[in-house]
Chains A and B, each alone.
Chain A
Amino acid sequence: DGGITQSPKYLFRKEGQNVTLSCEQNLNHDAMYWYRQDPGQGLRLIYYSQIVNDFQKGDIAEGYSVSREKKESFPLTVTSAQKNPTAFYLCASSIILDRGYISNQPQHFGDGTRLSIL
């Protein structure tokens, strides 16, 4: 979906370094998500946000942080506390019809960022 842009496509992290992955969408979606995908594995939810200036932890939030200052943007920071950051990171967005079930509408994904350790 051309409406979600992730950058960079490839990223390398040095020991003790924080890195930030960008996710921008022009679909006017309220909800945005960050997932981590390891080789041969499914997607695991890191953080999600339903509205500007609000976000919630997913299943594997430790070592990550996010912000949602604008509706269009949901950057993810991989901190030095994340000891095994090598993975494929996917950002997604969706509309919200029922705030009790933020994920019951189709999620549209970006092209992903592949993060590796130097």
Chain B
Amino acid sequence: GENVEQHPSTLSVQEGDSAVIKCTYSDSASNYFPWYKQELGKRPQLIIDIRSNVGEKKDQRIAVTLNKTAKHFSLHITETQPEDSAVYFCAALGQGGKLIFGQGTELSVKP
């Protein structure tokens, strides 16, 4: 069935370093890929999304890259700050127009 694999499940970086989270998807027809940030006990918040007609999108310290041939996309956070610590989820649009979520990556940024 459709699925989205997300790696790593946990990631620890020093403040100021970069963090990269990777996702692969199974449905080659997927054309929409959002990323959500969820702080403990709170709602997921959309931080960036990308559509299949572009290969990269940036928003300040956050960027997402998409490789449709390999069916994978990645989140890049530069100059990490302690407030970036959270769980990050990737998702891909599956068959029937439903979002399929990855399992999440717990990012810890150490001061």
Contacts and interface: CB of A to CB of B under 8 A. Distances in A.
B46 A103 contact: no
Interface in A77-114: 90, 100-104, 106-112
A45 interface: yes
22 contacts: A1-B45, A41-B104, A42-B4, A42-B101, A42-B102, A42-B104, A43-B89, A44-B101, A45-B98, A45-B99, A59-B98, A90-B44, A102-B97, A103-B32, A103-B99, A104-B31, A104-B51, A106-B34, A107-B34, A108-B46, A112-B42, A112-B43
Interface residues of B, number: 21
Interface residues of A, number: 23
A8 B98 CA distance: 26
Nearest to A44: B101
Contacts of A90: 43-44
Nearest to A9: B41
Contact of B42 (A58, A104, A111): A111
B103 interface: yes
B77 interface: no
A40 interface: yes
Contacts of B42: 111-112
A104 B93 contact: yes
Contact of B97 (A40, A41, A42, A101): A101
Interface in B35-73: 42-46, 49, 51
B89 A42 contact: yes
A117 B37 CA distance: 28
Given A1-B45, A42-B101, 20 more contacts: A40-B103, A41-B104, A42-B4, A42-B89, A44-B101, A45-B99, A59-B98, A101-B31, A101-B32, A102-B98, A103-B32, A103-B93, A104-B93, A106-B46, A106-B49, A108-B46, A109-B43, A109-B44, A111-B43, A112-B42
Contact of A103 (B44, B45, B97): B97
A103 B43 contact: no
A48 interface: yes
A40 B6 CA distance: 13
